[in-house]
Amino acid sequence: MSRRTLPLYALSVFEAAARHLSFTRAADELCLTQGAVSKQVAQLEAQLGYPLFLRQVRSLALTVQGETLLPHVQKALATLDKGVELARGASRRLRLKAPSCAARWLLREMRQFSREEPGIAVEVSSVHAHQVDFAREAFDLAVVFCAIPAADSALTPLFLERLTPVLSPSLRDSERLPLASPEDLAAWPLLHPSSDRRDWRRWFAEVGGGDVGADGGAVFDSLDQAMNAALQGFGVTLGDVTLLSEELAAGQVVAPFDVELVTGSGYALARPRASEEGTSDGSPAGRLFDWLVARHGVPAGVVAGLVPRLVA
């Protein structure tokens, strides 16, 4: 029989009757009469050319042909149901959560994603929090800042935090101060992404510069604020080279030292537990998940061997 002539409605009636082994219970489920179910099945049998049920006085049983056909019909109907749901959600706006420090990078990524997937709209919520609770927050995906490798296997690493001093070229040119070695930073206004000033202290310790100037300078609540201040020429901050990749390429900020501190932390992609069984589920959220991981995912072998280190 040609696929074009397969009676979809009759096949769905057959599936309900076969599942219940009762025309009466199938009729109740489908809001039909028992006679209507019996008629649909009889017409299907006539069209197929073989019986699907053994009709007995007080019972109903599947024939060999019916038993063979049933799982294929169930699989086909399940596929159709899934397709209908995916199509229903295709135009829904995805909600993506990200820490504010990653917002600049993420907005650029979403600009490219929208070019490749124009039918999927993404709403990015930039917040100070670095984590997500899908049970309490209505997000489809989230970028989180965490230790890499993450303790939670549900987190898929995107990229590592790599910090290096950055400043605006206007500040560099106007100050006319030497900037050839880490010790020279003692004369520059330092910007701290956190109140404990740990990033600069660690960077100076790693390059053998002691804690030159680490106790002075302006303090900010987040890396994003410190990087924005550096872009505006207020001082030198430690910036993430991935988050600032476009600004570095365009010369909006410069990195005077060819050295990057890998902190042992980074950014990972999270999705609700119910979505974890397969990354490629065809849904808009699944497509965005796979797209981001394909572009930025840290290979498993790299993650397994990570330790905080300085890259020169």
pLDDT per residue as tens digits for the range 125-182: 888 777 888 888 889 999 999 998 767 778 899 999 999 999 999 999 998 899 999 9
Fold (CATH) for 94-156+265-306: D-Maltodextrin-Binding Protein; domain 2 (3.40.190)
Picking from 56, 94, 111, 117, the residue whose alpha carbon sits closest to that of residue 269 is 94
Whole-angstrom Cα distance, residue 114 to residue 99?
21
> CATH 1.10.10.10 spans which residues of the chain?
3-89
- pTM score, whole prediction: 0.66
pLDDT in the model for residue 307: 45
Strands 260-270 and 141-147 come out as antiparallel
Asked whether the beta carbons of 258 and 169 are under 8 A apart, the reply is no
Fold (CATH) for 3-89: Arc Repressor Mutant, subunit A (1.10.10)
Q: Does domain 161-263 have CATH number 3.30.750.200?
A: no
The encoded tokens of residue 7 equal 């009676």
Q: Which residues contact 41 (CB under 8 A, 6 or more apart)?
A: 10, 13, 14, 17, 23, 52, 53
pLDDT in the model for residue 194: 87
pLDDT in the model for residue 213: 62
SS3 of 126, please?
A: strand
pLDDT in the model for residue 312: 47
Q: List, for the chain, all residue ranges whose pLDDT scores fall below the cut of 50.
A: 277-278, 307-310, 312
pLDDT in the model for residue 278: 46
* Alpha-carbon distance values, 55 to 14, 29, 84, 109, 169 (Å): 14, 20, 34, 61, 86
